[in-house]
Amino acid sequence: MAMERATRQRDAIRTAIEAAKRPLSPREVQQEARSKVPGLGLATVYRNLKSLAGDGIVRTISLPGESPRYEPAESPHHHHFQCVTCRRVFDIPGCPGNLRRLAPRGFRVEQHDVTLYGRCSDCNKRGGRASR
Ligand SMILES: [Zn+2]
Ligand SMILES: [Zn+2]
């Protein structure tokens, strides 16, 4: 049944994002969700991500110069770490807080993003040679 397959695809994609505990690229979503929906195509992943974002279930993480990643929309305030070697993005729980004082006098801060860049523990262990 086409309808059933569509539901299964959407559920698998949603579950992959919720289980990941870090923002996933569409390709990573595809890899994770394929264990439940063999043959899942990238175009289908993109279509479902768009619809899940439109329904407020997932949200987009946009880092400069990177294609979007996706994470559950209801995650509490947190920040990200991007590995410069494998390009994966990880969650950093918590927040340095009180960034308002960095703004010039008379300016009002409404929101902030903090992204740390470096090597993840996997890449660090491998000695850090660039590999994609
Ligand atoms: Zn890495
Ligand atoms: Zn913060």
Residue 1: the pLDDT is: 65
Instruction: Supply the pLDDT for residue 97.
Output: 86
Ligand 1 centre from 65 Cα, in Å?
17
* pLDDT tens, N- to C-terminus, the chain (132 residues): 678 889 999 999 999 999 999 999 999 999 999 999 999 999 999 999 999 999 999 999 999 889 899 999 998 999 999 999 999 999 998 898 888 889 999 999 999 999 999 999 999 998 745 544
- The amino acid sitting at 23 is P
Q: Point out the ligand nearest to the CA of residue 86.
A: 1
Q: Ligand nearest 128 Cα, by number? A: 1
Pairing label, strands 69-72, 89-93: unpaired
CA distance 22 to 106: 36
Residue 104 CA, ligand 2 centroid: distance in Å: 18
pLDDT at 17: 97
The ligand with the least distance to the CA atom of 77 is 2
Compute the distance from residue 129 Cα to the ligand 1 centre, in Å.
Answer: 10
Contact between 4 and 12 (Cβ < 8 Å): no
Contact between 81 and 92 under an 8 Å Cβ cutoff? The reply is yes
Structure-token pair, residue 84: 């410069």
Helix H or strand E segment including 6? helix 2-20
3-state secondary structure (DSSP) of residue 123? helix
Stretch (H or E) spanning 26:
helix 26-33
Q: Ligand 2 centroid to 79 CA: how many Å? A: 6
Quote the CA–CA distance of 75 and 19 in Å, as a whole number. Answer: 12
